[in-house]
Amino acid sequence: MNESGAQFWDAWWEKKFSLFTPHGAFMSLHDSSVLSVALRLDGSRQRHILLPGNGWSLVPYALAACGFEVVVIDISKLVLERVATKASEGEILRYLTAPARSLTKSHSHSGGSVTLVHGDVFSYLFDRQFDLIYEDRLAMLLNERGQAKLAEQYHSWLQPGGLCAIRTINYGLRQTNEGWDGSAVEPLRAQLGAAFLAAGFCEGRQKPLDKVVEFLHSSG
């Protein structure tokens, strides 16, 4: 475990909580996107999902309510404790966006579970592989070396035939009078694409056992 990284992210979340939780806010902005991707899996045999750097989203519990076995790994113990406490209070659906709530209700299925792992994506060893790895705003924060290493980790954790979805937002990109400067997205996308292809991923499935990477981007 990278102790200084863990301290950095605990402090980062502490600050966020001091700003937001008095109002009961809970991160739910992108939950319908991960649910839509997960629901493309063949849930009868592809049930294992990994959410690295999940932060304070309750979407793992929505996925579990749809029958998936979900593992969250995050370096911040603080955020994991916050998520576990919130989930234990029940009624997680009310923290989801309306589209995510409706997807969860219409795809409700027994057999799901959530396991929270306090660990570092760069050093953790899982004893199983996953059908889907969905990650939101972690790879995009790393330098090229970090992205290359992360892509290798994700490749080793993904089942043959599995899907890895990497979401980026406009964070850190330039805002102009016309909105976000889209020209900065392409280099980020190209850099991530190169790292994931070098790790052995394919963009677009050619063969059933390909490990496929998909990049999702929105203004965030």
Give the interface with ligand SAM as residue ranges (CB under 6 A). 5, 9, 27, 52-55, 57, 73-76, 79, 120-122, 136-138
Nearest CB to ligand SAM, comparing residues 111 and 142? 142
Q: Give the single-character DSSP code of 200.
A: T
| Dist. CA 16–CA 150, nearest whole Å | 25
Contacts of 190 (CB under 8 A, 6+ apart): none
| Least distance in angstroms from the C-beta of 216 to ligand SAM | 11
Question: The tokens of 14 are what?
Answer: 């502490």
| Dist. CA 188–CA 194, nearest whole Å | 10
Nearest CB to ligand SAM, comparing residues 117 and 184? 117
Question: The tokens of 198 are what?
Answer: 């070098």
- Per DSSP, the residues of 2-71 read -HHHHHHHHHHHHHHHHHHGGGT----TTHHHHHHHHTTS-TTT--EEEEET-TT--HHHHHHHTT-EEE
| Least distance in angstroms from the C-beta of 192 to ligand SAM | 15
Alpha carbons within 13 angstroms on the beta-carbon side of residue 85 total 9
| Least distance in angstroms from the C-beta of 15 to ligand SAM | 12
Nearest CB to ligand SAM, comparing residues 34 and 66? 34
Nearest CB to ligand SAM, comparing residues 5 and 161? 5
| Dist. CA 149–CA 216, nearest whole Å | 20
| Least distance in angstroms from the C-beta of 121 to ligand SAM | 4
What angle, rounded to 10 degrees, do the helices at 98-106 and 31-38 form?
A: 30
| Least distance in angstroms from the C-beta of 112 to ligand SAM | 20
Within 10 angstroms of residue 131's Cβ, the number of other Cβ atoms is 21
Nearest CB to ligand SAM, comparing residues 27 and 62? 27
| Least distance in angstroms from the C-beta of 136 to ligand SAM | 4
Nearest CB to ligand SAM, comparing residues 127 and 178? 127
